[in-house]
DNA sequence: TAGATTGTTAATCGATTAACAATC
DNA sequence: TAGATTGTTAATCGATTAACAATC
């Protein structure tokens, strides 16, 4: 039901808008404007108005934007208001850290189960999330339709596991393995979002190294 | 000694080039070309040549690029060849996971010490990395000049800790706190590279939600 | 009302792609 | 040599910024 294709640049700014709106909201402000928000975020007022206008008309001339309303609009645009079930695959240090620290709920995600191949972990719970046998992943998914999967297992299993997930109907894969995962289009456009720690560190390395 | 300013878009592609070159190298290939690399990475040959030409002339007409040479060139461009000392601040689950799993060495980073405020953790070691009292951070830094810091502590301490780090001469901050950190220019252009997990998940949420 | 600020159209800027002469 | 492929210049495309009429 969307009109024009939204550019990637715009999409990647949305969570940042949301973060700043959330902060302004916590500060108790009722209204803001494209110029105020822009000053705060280091963007031009023009860009903010242009970005938001991709999704609708959320402001009011002479007044600006109602913080609460714009905040909620952004949550809807990002589909955060809609509950999404997820599983996590690979309960190593990083998987454990995500289960324990990360606020999945803030993004509308309900982490339902974790999977691991290590018998010592299977059957345990982490913060109330059961750790199940990785061998039962696809049978679990067939019984519990799940839209999201968090990939935190060793890189060598990334591709194969991603394919299993895609076959079982997962729509989005949040990939922390550091390996690229490519899913053929027969899997109906499953989206892979990768968090490449090393890419980020290497960019930092570049930036500090060229400051001389 | 660099000529023109390199655009951010180019810089963020460099680690990805490196990753693919590393894979091609592992596969035992001796040469590649902008079109072969482009096909593999989903980029145009033109873009690859354009990107690389920002940094020098690494290819040869009629032949293409020597994989090993280009790989090493990219490592130099990113300053990965140059040893960089780092500290990690905040030894919670995520900090622990990074110390234990992340291959800092692959990016030329030597993690020298970790800091935490929890007395139960102070004095322990994680994979050979000593956990020191967070209260001694600045005195440590004055004795051990350190260019990089990994921020993995609770968000409410992010800004203040970043300022301390900047005052103590740290040049780059790798920020995992989920909070934005802003350093005034009086800190001589300390670079902050943030890994915002929630931004990434929210983009994924947007993308799967708009596939209907 | 007058001032402020929107959404949108037009202008500018920057990044990507195409074309091609140079040459291995 | 002929074919392949570079580095670079020019053309295109897309994203950002500026301008402004509409209006709260």
Q: For residue A204, which residues of chain B lie inside 8 Å, CB to CB?
A: 148, 172, 174, 191, 193
With respect to residue A209, please indicate whether it lies within any of the assigned structural domains: no
Give chain A positions within 8 Å (CB) of B19.
180, 196, 198-199
For residue B81, give the DSSP letter. S
Rounded to an integer, the average pLDDT of A47-75 is 98
Q: Are residues A31 and A136 in the same domain?
A: no
pLDDT at B1 exceeding the cut of 50:
no
Return d(Cα A202, Cα A172) in angstroms, integer: 26
Residue A183 belongs to a domain? yes
Boundary residue ending a domain (B56, B77, B98): B77
Establish, for the pair of chains A and B, how many residue pairs have beta carbons separated by less than 8 Å.
168
Q: Are residues A99 and A186 in the same domain?
A: yes
Q: Are residues A40 and A99 in the same domain?
A: no
Q: Summarize the confidence of residues A10-15 as an average pLDDT.
A: 98
How far apart, in whole angstroms, are the C-alpha atoms of residue A121 and residue A125? Answer: 8
Q: Which of A192, A202, A207 to substitute to test the interface with B, most B CBs within 10 Å?
A: A202
Same domain, A70 and A110: no
Q: Residue B174 falls within a domain, yes or no? A: yes
Give the rounded distance of the alpha carbon of B142 from its chain centre. Answer: 23
pLDDT at A3 over 70: no
A38-50: average pLDDT:
98
> What CATH number is associated with residue B99?
3.40.50.720
Domain span holding position B187: 84-199
Residue A127 clears pLDDT 90, i.e. is over it? yes
Query: The tokens of A112 are what?
Result: 């339902």
CA of A70 to C1' of D19 (A): 25
Q: What is the mean pLDDT of chain B?
A: 95
Q: Point out the domain boundary residue: B17, B51, B77.
A: B77
Residue from A2, A169, A192, A208 whose CB has the most chain B CBs within 10 Å, to mutate: A208
B90 shares its domain with B158: yes
pLDDT at A185: 79
A62 touches strand D (CB under 7 A): yes
**Final residue of a structural domain among B40, B57, B77:** B77
Residue B211 domain flag? no
Please tell me the distance from the alpha carbon of residue B24 to that of residue B31, in angstroms, as a whole number.
9
The answer to whether residue B178 sits within a structural domain is yes
Q: With CB atoms and an 8 Å threshold, state whether B171 touches A208.
A: yes
Q: Residue A33: its pLDDT value, please?
A: 98
pLDDT given at position A210: 59
Q: Which residues of A touch B97 (CB under 8 A)?
A: 92-94, 96-97
Residues A63 and A111 in one domain: no
Residues B88 and B193 occupy one common structural domain = yes
Residue in chain B closest to A190 (alpha carbons) equals B208
Does residue A159 or residue B5 have the better pLDDT?
A159
- B46-84: per-residue pLDDT in tens? 999 999 999 999 999 999 999 999 999 999 999 999 999
Residue A185 sits in the same domain as residue A152:
yes
Mean pLDDT over A71-83 rounds to 98
- A1 pLDDT band, cuts 50/70/90, is very low
Q: For position A43, which CATH number holds? A: 1.10.10.10
Tell me the CA–C1' distance in angstroms for A212 and D7.
28
Q: Does residue A172 share a domain with residue A110? A: yes
Count the domains in chain A: 2
pLDDT mean over A84-105: 97
Predicted pLDDT of residue B210: 59
Looking at the structure, do residues B96 and B188 belong to the same domain, yes or no?
yes
Phi, psi at residue A62, to the nearest 5°?
A: 80, -15
Nearest-by-Cβ selection for A205 from B92, B98, B108:
B108
Within-domain flag for A135: yes
Mean pLDDT, rounded, for A162-175:
97
User: B51 CA, D17 C1': separation in Å?
Assistant: 26
CA–C1' distance A6–D10 (Å)? 29
Q: For Cα atoms B60, B61, B65, give the angle at the middle one, nearest 5 degrees.
A: 40
CA to C1' distance (Å), from A22 to C9: 31
The reply to whether B160 touches chain A by the CB within 8 Å rule is: no
Q: A210 in a domain, yes or no? A: no
pLDDT at A61: 97
Same-domain check for residues A195 and A156: yes
Residue with tokens 């004095």: B123
Task: List protein-proximal bases of chain C (any atom < 7 A from a CB).
Answer: 2-9, 14-19, 22-24
Q: Are residues A68 and A93 in the same domain?
A: no
What nucleotide is nearest A46 when CA is compared to C1'?
D17
Give domain status of residue A1, yes or no: no
- From chain A, the residues in CB contact with B102 under 8 A are 197-198
């Amino acid at each position: 039901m969307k009109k024009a294709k939204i550019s990637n640049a715009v999409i990647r700014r949305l969570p940042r808008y949301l973060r700043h709106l959330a902060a302004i909201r916590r500060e108790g402000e009722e209204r803001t404007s494209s110029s105020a928000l822009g000053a705060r975020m280091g963007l031009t007022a023009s860009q903010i108005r242009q970005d938001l206008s991709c999704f609708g008309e959320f402001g009011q001339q002479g007044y600006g934007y109602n913080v609460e309303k714009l905040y909620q609009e952004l949550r809807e645009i990002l589909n955060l208001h809609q509950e999404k079930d997820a599983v996590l695959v690979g309960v190593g240090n990083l998987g454990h850290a995500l289960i324990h620290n990360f606020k999945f709920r803030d993004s509308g995600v309900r982490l339902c189960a974790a999977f691991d191949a290590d018998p010592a972990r299977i059957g345990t719970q982490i913060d109330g999330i059961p750790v199940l046998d990785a061998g039962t992943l696809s049978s679990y998914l067939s019984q519990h339709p799940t839209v999201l999967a968090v990939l935190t297992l060793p890189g060598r299993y990334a591709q194969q596991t991603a394919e299993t997930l895609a076959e079982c109907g997962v729509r989005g894969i949040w990939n922390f393995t550091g390996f690229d995962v490519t899913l053929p289009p027969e899997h109906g456009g499953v989206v892979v979002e990768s968090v490449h720690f090393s890419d980020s560190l290497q960019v930092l390395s570049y930036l500090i190294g060229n400051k001389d």
